[in-house]
């Protein structure tokens, strides 16, 4: 299956710990996007990355959150010192271009982060 | 600021009947609209899209209608099937933008 792979599927962290979420895009896709879905809400854009570059992080909280997409390996969304409000589903998407094709993005199955 | 709104959180429909999902948007710069379907514990899956130069796009049982003057779009599913039971998200994007703005979703339940 050449889809977007996210791991872990579920992640439980205590307040103050770090959370690292991984995303491997569709093979051949060089554009990665992270979205967050809070309970009872739609998905909200966080960050857009290309290989080794952050293109747009306007949707990401200024503190505690960071993202990277290294030359080799998956994209990583890192949340330091997690708080209860970080509990959400985090979805990664990839595309071969920096804009939509007729089929939009390909989304992964998400990582459900629970902060206790 | 919620730029895409799905005002019906849920919809229940009998198998074989039509499901109509509605979506309103406020940003006049949006010119591309998509519907995604999402099952529990899975990611959103692209369903159908429409460009602002059209007012209708059809793909099998799914049709999306766009009313630009009203800033409104709808998704029609005919006939509804049990496998259609899922959460449906409306999403929109401005021309040349890579960011999608999503609605909060409508949960569709198809009754046998």
Instruction: Note whether B108 and B90 are within 8 A (CB).
Output: no
> A56 contacts in B (CB within 8 Å)?
98-99
Kindly list the averaged pLDDT for each block of 10 residues, start to end, along chain A of length 116. 88 98 92 93 94 93 95 95 97 80 81 97
Which pLDDT tens digit goes with each residue over B49-100? 999 999 999 999 999 999 999 999 999 999 999 999 999 999 999 987 888 9
Higher pLDDT, B97 or B3: B3
Instruction: Look at residue B29 and tell me whether its pLDDT is greater than 70.
Output: yes
Instruction: Note whether A4 and A92 are within 8 A (CB).
Output: yes
Cβ-count burial of A17 within 10 angstroms (0-12 exposed, 13-18 middle, 19+ buried)? Answer: middle
Instruction: Look at residue B24 and tell me whether its pLDDT is greater than 70.
Output: yes
DSSP class of B102 = E
Banded model confidence at residue B4, pLDDT cuts 50, 70, 90: very high
Question: CA A107, A112, A114 angle in degrees (round to 5)?
Answer: 160
- Amino acid B27: pLDDT: 95
**Rounded mean pLDDT, B36-40:** 95
If we measure between CA atoms, which residue out of A6, A16, A95 comes closest to residue A49? A95
Distance from CA of A39 to the nearest CA of B (A): 9
**Rounded mean pLDDT, B21-47:** 94
- Amino acid A44: pLDDT: 96
> A107 contacts in B (CB within 8 Å)?
36, 43-45
Residue of B nearest to A110 (CA): B43
CB contact under 8 A, A100 and B32: yes
Contacts of A59 (CB under 8 A, 6+ apart): A44, A45, A46, A47, B99
């Amino acid at each position: 299956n050449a889809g977007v792979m996210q791991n872990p599927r579920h992640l439980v962290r205590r307040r103050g710990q770090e959370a690292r979420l991984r995303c491997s895009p569709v093979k051949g896709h060089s554009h990665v996007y992270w979205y967050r879905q809070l309970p009872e809400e739609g998905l909200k854009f966080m960050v857009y990355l290309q290989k080794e570059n952050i293109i747009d992080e306007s949707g990401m909280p200024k503190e505690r959150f960071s993202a990277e997409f290294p030359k080799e390996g998956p994209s990583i969304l890192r949340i330091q010192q997690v708080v209860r409000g970080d509990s959400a589903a985090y979805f990664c998407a990839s595309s071969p271009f920096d804009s939509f094709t007729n089929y939009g993005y390909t989304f992964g199955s998400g990582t459900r982060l629970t902060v206790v | 600021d919620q730029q895409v709104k799905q005002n019906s959180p849920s919809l229940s429909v009998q198998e074989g009947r039509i499901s109509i999902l509605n979506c309103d948007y406020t940003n006049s710069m949006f010119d591309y609209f998509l519907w995604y379907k999402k099952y529990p514990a899975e990611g959103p899956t692209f369903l159908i899209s429409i460009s602002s130069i059209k007012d209708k796009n059809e793909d099998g049982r799914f049709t999306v209608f766009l009313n630009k003057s009203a800033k409104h779009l709808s998704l029609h599913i005919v006939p509804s099937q049990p496998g259609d039971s899922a959460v449906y998200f409306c999403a929109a994007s401005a021309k040349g933008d890579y960011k999608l703005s999503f609605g909060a979703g409508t949960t569709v339940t198809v009754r046998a």
